[in-house]
Each structure stands twice: as structure tokens, then as C-alpha cells.
């Protein structure tokens, strides 16, 4: 289901449903005369983080701190099926407690939601943490889960998306704090007695996620495949580039800038490869053509669709020395490996979404209209597509930083 249809359903179906559920919840509370309380230690907690694979990485600290704070509680997760693999690789939740939703079609979405809600109610979930930024469907799911305590972002006195009043642990969304810190605040709001629920002592910054421990065969297997398929790269440092913008093309650095960067890296003696899904192959072919036309040193490799799973992609990151990527999932996944990462931000800001990894450097131009993709506009930019915030980032500056990274040894893994 494409993003515009998701937005349409969330608005025109979500608003009346949120209003109706809020009325039902208010009547139920008035009849029972007992407000929801968190005096008892939670027995089962569900974390709702449907849409962004990268956000799962940024939520790593929240998962681990919940397990520390409530060691006897079952911690469940509800997410889109396509995002499950990265959560399993992170090993922060028992796979038996992961519940998935199919968003490929409206029919599949409805049937899988019905199944997931049934699983959560049978599990006796008593706390739901909705990590989505003003999504209405996720707030409705927190109510449908049967949880008495429902934590989620709320607009309070801000102008934001209406999500109803059934979130009984409302946390103000703070556009000035990194999203990982806000996820921690959601977890702490379970038993907070302040108003707002985020009025809590400052905690230390979130820790980088530990590196994923892959099956021992993955890295040698990807090295052997590369050696067989591309023998010319032997002995060269491998640099990966991800020029795609995913479902939000406005996040992409211009292809001409990537081409100039790649020509410089190839001239330095690097093996440069384009990564992405099979849907990115046309973009990769165009980049390969641009580099080949302007470089006497050779072309870049097209590795779009080359890795068959996220685990294989992480193995490729372990083989490579450097990743240059637009804001998106690959940059967040790279934080789970030792690879140096250069990440290009524009429509969104690294202040909120930069990977929590010492081996990642973010480029950001601080353009006056940036960031324009926010929780308040459902990540629907008002830009005309002329993303000057990214166009003004000079390839020469990125190339200089890439050379610094390639001259620096990779860092050790963060402690678990």
C-alpha cells in the first residue's frame, strides 16, 4: 500500500475512529469511576513501531531499558512484516513475542491487524507504548490491544495531528530532542505521575546499539561471491553508495553529486558499488553510466538487489570500508556494524534522526526551510521538489570526509 493511500486512510478513517474510541473510553471511565493506573508492575508490554526499519535501530536503548526496568514482563512488538528481520537480528525481543502486520494491500492490512490484535489480547497486554509520530492507526491499535495503560505522543497544546483522548499516558512530542531520547521518555511515562508525563529528570544520552552478531558463515560467503562476480575489486577498499530516496525521493542527494563523488573515489583506487533494492536498478544504471562517461579509471559496480536479506546486507557492510547514503534505513543499519558511514540529511535533520554511532558523520546544510518532513505534516513536504538543502552539499566536501574515514581504522563494537 503506497504512502499516499496510507495517509488518506489514516486521515479520513483514522479521525472518526479516534473520535469514536475517545467517546467510548470516556464513557467507560465514567462508569467504572476508576482511572487507569500503573501501580502494579506490568506483566506484558507491547511496543508499537510499525513503519520505519531505521527507527527500530534508534529504539534499541528503549527496548533494553524496558527489559531492565521490568525484568519479569513480557515485551512484545507490533510492526510491519517487512521490518521484522532487523528486529530479529538485534535480538532485543523473544521472536515468539513479535507480531506482524502486512501492509502490501488494504485487505492484507485489515486481516493481519485483526490477527495481531487477537494475539495481543490473548497475551494479556496491560501496557501499550505507541512509538509512531502522530499516526492514528497506531493509537487505535494501542486501545484495541486491551492495554489499560496506553502511552503515546500527544499534541497537548501544540498544533498537531488529532489522535483522540484515549491515550492515557500522553507524552508531548518534542521536535528539539533526538527521537531515541523521546522513545526513552515514552518508556518512562508508564509509571510517571507528572504532568506532562515527560516532566522527568534528564537521563544520559542514548547509547549506540551493539554490533549485530551474524552467523559466522555470512561474511565469508559475501566475500566469496564478490570475489567470484567482481574479481577486479580484489585488494581495493570497497565503498558503498546508496543514492535512492525510498518512498520519499526528496531525501535524495542529486545523482550528479553522487557521480562526482564516485569518480573521485574510483580515481583514488577504491572499488565503488551502488546498493539498493531491485526497484533501484534503473537509478543505479544511470549512476554507473554517468561515472563511466566521465572517468578514465573505470566504472562503479551495480549491487542493487545483490543482497537477499538484511543479514546479507549487514555482512556486506562488514566487508566494505565506507557507506555514503541518503537519510534512510541503510544508514541506520550501518550503525549495527563497524563500517564508516557518511549520511546526507536535508528534508529531515540529524538532530532528530542521526544514527547513534561514533562511526557515522552527518552532512546537513541548515537550509532555512529545513527540516520540512515532520511529524506535524505526516512527512508530506511542502517543497516543490527542488531540494536545495541537499543540492548545496558539495561533493568535494563529502569526498574529503570519505578520504578521512578510509584513512582511519574502523572502531570497535559498542558494548551490549
Number of helices (H), then strands (E), belonging to the chain: the values are: 16, 12
Q: Closest Cα partner for 52 from 329, 247, 313?
A: 329
Cα–Cα distance measured from residue 413 to residue 58, given in angstroms and rounded to the nearest whole number: 16
CATH architecture observed for domain 3-191: 3-Layer(aba) Sandwich (3.40)
**SS3 call for 106:** helix
pLDDT grade, residue 295 (50/70/90)?
low
Mean pLDDT taken over the chain:
91
The residue assigned the cell 487507569 is 36
Per-residue pLDDT, 59: 95
pLDDT tens per residue, range 336-383: 999 999 999 999 999 999 999 999 999 999 999 999 998 888 788 999
- Return the domain boundaries, the chain: 3-191, 218-406
H/E element, 313 = helix 310-319
Contact 81, 123 (CB under 8 A): no
Per-residue pLDDT, 32: 77
Q: Closest Cα partner for 319 from 295, 298, 338?
A: 338
DSSP conformation class of 270: -
pLDDT tens per residue, range 44-94: 999 999 988 999 999 999 999 999 999 999 999 999 999 999 999 999 999
Per-residue pLDDT, 161: 79
Per-residue pLDDT, 107: 87
Residue 252 scores a pLDDT above 70: yes
pTM: 0.91
DSSP result, 155-166: -TTS------S-
Residue 296 scores a pLDDT above 70: no
CATH architecture observed for domain 218-406: 3-Layer(aba) Sandwich (3.40)
pLDDT tens per residue, range 220-241: 999 999 999 999 999 999 999 9
Per-residue pLDDT, 175: 87
**Do the domains 218-406 and 3-191 match in fold?**
yes
Residue 36 scores a pLDDT above 70: no
pLDDT grade, residue 38 (50/70/90)?
low
Residue 323 scores a pLDDT above 80: yes
Burial class of residue 212, CB neighbours in 10 A (0-12, 13-18, 19+): buried
Residue 335 scores a pLDDT above 90: yes
Amino acid at each position: 500500500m503506497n504512502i499516499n493511500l496510507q495517509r488518506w486512510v489514516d486521515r479520513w478513517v483514522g479521525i472518526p475512529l479516534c473520535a469514536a474510541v475517545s467517546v467510548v473510553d470516556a464513557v467507560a471511565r465514567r462508569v467504572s469511576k476508576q482511572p487507569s493506573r500503573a501501580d502494579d508492575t506490568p506483566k506484558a508490554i507491547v511496543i508499537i513501531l510499525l513503519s520505519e526499519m531505521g527507527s527500530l535501530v534508534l529504539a534499541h536503548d528503549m527496548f533494553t531499558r524496558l527489559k531492565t526496568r521490568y525484568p519479569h514482563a513480557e515485551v512484545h512488538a507490533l510492526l510491519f512484516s517487512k521490518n521484522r528481520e532487523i528486529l530479529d537480528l538485534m535480538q532485543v525481543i523473544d521472536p515468539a513475542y513479535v507480531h506482524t502486520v502486512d501492509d502490501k494491500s488494504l485487505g492484507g492490512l485489515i486481516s493481519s491487524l485483526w490477527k495481531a490484535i487477537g494475539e495481543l489480547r490473548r497475551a494479556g497486554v496491560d501496557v501499550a507504548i505507541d512509538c509512531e509520530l502522530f499516526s492514528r492507526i497506531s493509537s487505535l491499535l494501542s486501545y484495541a490491544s486491551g492495554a489499560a495503560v496506553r502511552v503515546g505522543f500527544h499534541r497537548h497544546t501544540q498544533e498537531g495531528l488529532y489522535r483522540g483522548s484515549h491515550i492515557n499516558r500522553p507524552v508531548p512530542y518534542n521536535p528539539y530532542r533526538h527521537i531515541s531520547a523521546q522513545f526513552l521518555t515514552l518508556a518512562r511515562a508508564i509509571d510517571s505521575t507528572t504532568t506532562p508525563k515527560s516532566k522527568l529528570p534528564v537521563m544520559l544520552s542514548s547509547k549506540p546499539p551493539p554490533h549485530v552478531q551474524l552467523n559466522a558463515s555470512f561474511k565469508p560467503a559475501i566475500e566469496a561471491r564478490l570475489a567470484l562476480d567482481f574479481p577486479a575489486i580484489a585488494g581495493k577498499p570497497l565503498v558503498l553508495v546508496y543514492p535512492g530516496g525510498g518512498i520519499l525521493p526528496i531525501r535524495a542527494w542529486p545523482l550528479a553529486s553522487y557521480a562526482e563523488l564516485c569518480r573521485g573515489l574510483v580515481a583514488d583506487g577504491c572499488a565503488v558499488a551502488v546498493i539498493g533494492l531491485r526497484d533501484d536498478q534503473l537509478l543505479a544504471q544511470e549512476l554507473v553510466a554517468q561515472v563511466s562517461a566521465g572517468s578514465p579509471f573505470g566504472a562503479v559496480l551495480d549491487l542493487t538487489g545483490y543482497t537477499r536479506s538484511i543479514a546479507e546486507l549487514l555482512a556486506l557492510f562488514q566487508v566494505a570500508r565506507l557507506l555514503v547514503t541518503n537519510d534512510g534505513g541503510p544508514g541506520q543499519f550501518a550503525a549495527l556494524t563497524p563500517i564508516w558511514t557518511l549520511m546526507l540529511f536535508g528534508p529531515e535533520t540529524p538532530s532528530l534522526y542521526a544514527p547513534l554511532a561514533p562511526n557515522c558523520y552527518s552532512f546537513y546544510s541548515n537550509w532555512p526551510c529545513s527540516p520540512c518532513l515532520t511529524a506535524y505534516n505526516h512527512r508530506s513536504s511542502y517543497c516543490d521538489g527542488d531540494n536545495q538543502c541537499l543540492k548545496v552539499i558539495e561533493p568535494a566536501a563529502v569526498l574529503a570526509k570519505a578520504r578521512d574515514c578510509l584513512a582511519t581504522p574502523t572502531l570497535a563494537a559498542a558494548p551490549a
